[in-house]
Amino acid sequence: MLGERYVNNVLGILRSNPDIWNHTLFILNYDENDGKFDHVLPPWPEAGTAREYAGDYPLGFGPRVPMLLVSPWSRGGYVASEVFDHTSTIRFPEIWSAHLGKPFRSPNISDWRRSIAGDLTSALDFAHPQPGPAAFPAPRAEQPVSIPDGHMTPRPLSFHPHATVSEDPESGKITARMTLTGGPKDKALSFQVFPDKYPAFSVYSNDGFVRAFAGQVTPSREQKDRGLPVSRSTC
């Protein structure tokens, strides 16, 4: 509660000066999630990924934590579904300084982390800013807040994941192919594959992406000629 009041006071100071408020991005980062409640596994670096291992232990990302972006470029009740981490707040000034003609690059962020985590620009709309006063209700302890359904609109992403499968009747193997279309140069995604109780497996990624695959491999003609049972794959 005290933290909420502190944040509200800071925002009040910024809003009191329109010249400052209309050109300010306020970033609120949390450093913990107050409990191991997260049901989504974080991105995990492949074995041998440069600068993402401490000995044999992969660093990767931790459990998800909240982040708030408050500015004329983020108004309207939007949620960003790109993966970010705490280095994203460093990469945003990199983008901004390059725009101003004074580029810099933090040497402490690995190439893998840069490819997986966004730089916050996908969470902002610089083409349609909404400057001017913004009112925030004062935080009240122990007071329930009514939140209507659909009050948050997803920000559209410039990239999209895809997942397909192919079967090899001779070997009886299924191969899953996961790809990415669009996005900035060197963009990458973390795909996660899980076995399921009913489908054979499911593939998860950004922006609510999920593909479930189930069925059996269709045998080759040679297998049919040997009298093996014929089955059909369904995906």
Place of tokens 């060197």: 186
Give the per-residue pLDDT at 221. 62
Distance from the first to the final alpha carbon of the chain: 49
Give yes or no for a contact between 191 and 178, defined as CB atoms under 8 angstroms apart.
yes
Q: What percent of the chain has pLDDT over 90?
A: 49
List the pLDDT tens digit at each of the 235 positions of the chain.
678 888 889 999 999 999 999 999 999 998 877 666 777 788 989 999 999 999 999 988 988 888 999 999 999 889 999 999 999 999 999 999 999 999 999 999 999 999 999 999 999 999 999 998 877 777 676 677 777 777 888 899 999 999 999 888 788 788 899 999 999 889 999 999 988 877 788 999 988 899 998 877 766 665 555 544 433 433 3
Give the per-residue pLDDT at 158. 92
Give the per-residue pLDDT at 76. 86
HSE (CB half, 13 Å, CA atoms) of 113?
22
Tens digits of per-residue pLDDT, 44-103? Answer: 899 999 999 999 999 889 888 889 999 999 998 899 999 999 999 999 999 999 999 999
Give the per-residue pLDDT at 21. 94
SS (H, E, C) the chain: CHHHHHHHHHHHHHHCCHHHHCCCCEEEECCCCCCCCCCCCCCCCCCCCCCCEECCEECCCCCCCCEEEECCCCCCCEECCCCCCCCHHHHHHHHHHHHCCCCCCCCCCCHHHHHHCCCCHHHCCCCCCCCCCCCCCCCCCCCCCCCCCCCCEECCCCEEEEEEEEEECCCCEEEEEEEEEECCCCCCCCCEEEECCCCCEEEECCCCCEEEEEECCCCCHHHHHCCCCCCCEEC
Residues contacting 92, CB < 8 A, separation 6+: 25, 27, 119, 120, 121
* Alpha carbon distances (Å) from 197 to 29, 107, 174, 202: 37, 44, 18, 10
HSE (CB half, 13 Å, CA atoms) of 15?
14
Give the per-residue pLDDT at 125. 95
117: Cα separation from own chain's centroid: 7
Place of tokens 């580029």: 103
Q: Tell me the domains of the chain and their CATH numbers.
A: 2-154 (3.40.720.10), 159-234 (no CATH)
Query: Distance (Å, rounded) from C-alpha 69 to C-alpha 45?
Result: 27
